[in-house]
Amino acid sequence: MTIRERLSKLAKKLSWQATLGLVVLVAFLFVAIFSAQLTTHDPAEIVIGNRMKPPSWHERGVPEHFLGTDSLGRDILTRLVFGSRVSILVAMTATFVAGSLGVIIGLISGFYGGYIDDVLMRLADIQAAFPFILLAIAVLAVLGPGLINLILVLGIAGWVPYGRIVRGQVKSLREQEFVEAASALGAGHFRVIFRHILPNCWGPVIVLASFSAARTIIAEASLSFLGLGVPPAIPSWGAMLADGREYLSLAPWLATYPGFAIMIMVLSINLLGDWIRDILDPRLRNST
């Protein structure tokens, strides 16, 4: 079954949880794309006189700041809306980096086998030995924080599971008749890999990607907590949550809304991911 056939079958099987997740994610994506159109403030605009204003329905709130302002008088709703860009950007690109790196290494390792396989898989073992967050901290401490560095670190730290799964798939596919037939007919390595093997690996890769996207968003927040997140000028949910943690009793809105946004986003990805896994992972298909 090709991926296209599978997807069309999927659409018929949407559970309510998956539908909910999908709707929320599409909404977030919409908000991220049209951030500038949806907001009335500049996310970086500092109005010191307006700082720490509570949401507008509070006594001290002001109508032009619906969810209140932060410690520099910046509009929280605006920053939340723009923050969705960073969260989605980081999650998508880091997952993409990890996924492509893992798929490429997995393909090479599985296809060529032998000592290339040995070397690459030992590399995977070495990297997997470092706890994810510890590796990210150590690398960021060396490179210095920054959006690009953050994406690279989260991406590079996450390739191993993809590499291992794709390698396993390739190894089993290689033995199958259609691949052997293609090779026998003189198809080049690249042709065999891209035309015959790769399309059969997407299932598990998509499942993995959905969960690592969720994990990336959490990791971004955790790194912000340790002061290694995106630079302060860029609004991100993780940084907003981390910045607001000290003000919980004084100005709970600083941290509550970004915390809520992270939770909803990750929850939606997980709901959707669960469903994708149930559909694409043959091992669980019979129970769904």
**C-beta closer to other proteins: residue 49 or 63:** 49
Estimate to the nearest angstrom the gap between the alpha carbon of 252 and the chain centroid: 27
Give the range of 83-91, 105-113, 138-146, 195-203 binding other proteins by CB under 8 A. 138-146
Please list the residues that pair with 179 across neighbouring strands: none
> Which one of the spans 96-104, 151-159, 182-190, 220-228 is the region binding other proteins (CB under 8 A)?
220-228
One of 42, 181, 199, 227 touching other proteins (CB under 8 A) = 227
Nearer to other proteins, 192 or 212 (CB): 212
User: How far apart are CB 238 and other proteins at their closest, in Å?
Assistant: 7
Place of tokens 């396993």: 168
Provide, rounded to whole angstroms, the least separation between the CB of residue 33 and other proteins.
23
Distance CA 254, CA 163 (A): 40
Query: What is the H or E stretch that residue 276 is in?
Result: helix 253-280
DSSP 60: T
Of positions 13, 60, 191, 245, contacts other proteins by CB under 8 A? 245
Measure the CA–CA gap between 134 and 141, rounded to whole angstroms.
10
* Residue partners of 114: CB distance under 8 A and separation at least 6: none
Q: Distance between CA atoms of 28 and 269, rounded to whole angstroms?
A: 11
Q: Does 138 help bind other proteins (rule: CB under 8 A)?
A: yes
What are the helix (H) ranges across 57-146? 76-112, 114-129, 132-143
Least distance from other proteins to the Cβ atom of residue 63, Å: 21
Cα separation, 132 vs 148, in Å, equals: 18
Footprint of other proteins on this chain (CB under 8 A)?
46, 48-49, 51-52, 71-72, 122-123, 125-126, 129-134, 137-139, 141-142, 144-146, 214, 218, 221-222, 225-227, 231-233, 238, 241-242, 245-250, 255, 259, 262-264, 266-267, 270-271, 274, 278, 283-284, 286-287
